[in-house]
């Protein structure tokens, strides 16, 4: 069994679909949007879908392809990343002979999942994907990804003179922990499903604990 085949089993019961889509799922070297991110988002999505309902197959395809076009966080094109991914996903699923109705549903979920795009999800599957993806941006993995991206972008961890930005503007391009206030703590307010909101509150508590421990050590 190849590594890709082994990875596909993590998307059961849609492992056959995952085997077809995983070769198209990545287009960069961003470790915060890699295979482990897709697996975590799928687990989040499956957990929410078990409570909320929705089309599991369409949701699996949306999870697998939601980051299939990579745009760096500091790129001026960032807000268009989900649109580019939706367009690529349409081509991929059309090649697999999916119906236009199904492709449209998956593309909508991918288009609206992004915080940067700021487009409201209209279907249950789109709402679940957005919640599942945002769950990975808060909690322990949210903190880990925040610091990973800060290093990737060349940012510092915190301002040694004013860590909490009490006497300066928040600047998450310069300091990693500023991103907690500028974005991460805000994410829990916008969850779309009841299951997602419950999980988000649990993870936000963990994220606040991370910040509190960091400040204690500072």
**pLDDT tens across 96-118, in order?**
999 999 999 999 999 999 877 78
Strand, coil or helix: 156:
strand
Output the pLDDT for position 70: 76
Q: Which helix (H) or strand (E) holds 142?
A: helix 139-153
* φ, ψ (nearest 5 deg) of residue 89: -60, -40
Tens digit of each residue's pLDDT (9 = 90 or more) over 130-171: 999 999 999 999 999 999 999 988 999 999 999 999 999 999
Q: Which of 3.20.20.140, 1.10.3210.50, 1.20.1730.10, 3.40.50.800 is the CATH number of 137-218? A: 1.10.3210.50
Output the pLDDT for position 190: 86
Domain ranges of the chain: 1-119, 137-218
- Mean pLDDT calculated for residue range 49-64: 96
**Model confidence, pTM:** 0.90
């Amino acid at each position: 069994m190849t590594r890709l085949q082994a990875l596909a089993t993590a998307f059961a019961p849609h492992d056959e679909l995952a085997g077809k889509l995983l070769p198209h799922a990545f287009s960069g070297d961003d470790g915060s949007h890699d295979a482990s991110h897709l697996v975590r988002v799928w687990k989040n999505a499956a957990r929410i879908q078990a409570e909320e309902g929705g089309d599991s197959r369409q949701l699996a395809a949306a999870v697998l392809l939601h980051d299939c076009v990579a745009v760096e966080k500091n790129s001026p094109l960032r807000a268009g990343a989900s649109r580019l991914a939706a367009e690529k996903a349409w081509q991929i699923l059309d090649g697999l002979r999916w119906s236009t109705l199904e492709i449209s549903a998956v593309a909508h979920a991918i288009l609206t999942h992004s915080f940067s795009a700021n487009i409201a999800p209209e279907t249950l599957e789109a709402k679940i994907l957005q919640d599942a993806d945002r769950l990975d941006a808060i909690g322990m993995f949210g903190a880990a990804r925040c610091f990973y991206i800060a290093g990737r972008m060349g940012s510092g961890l915190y301002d040694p003179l004013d860590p909490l930005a009490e006497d300066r503007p928040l600047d998450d391009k310069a300091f990693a922990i500023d991103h907690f206030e500028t974005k991460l703590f805000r994410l829990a307010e916008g969850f779309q499903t009841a299951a997602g909101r419950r999980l988000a509150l649990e993870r936000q508590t963990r994220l606040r604990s991370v910040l509190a421990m960091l400040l204690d050590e500072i």
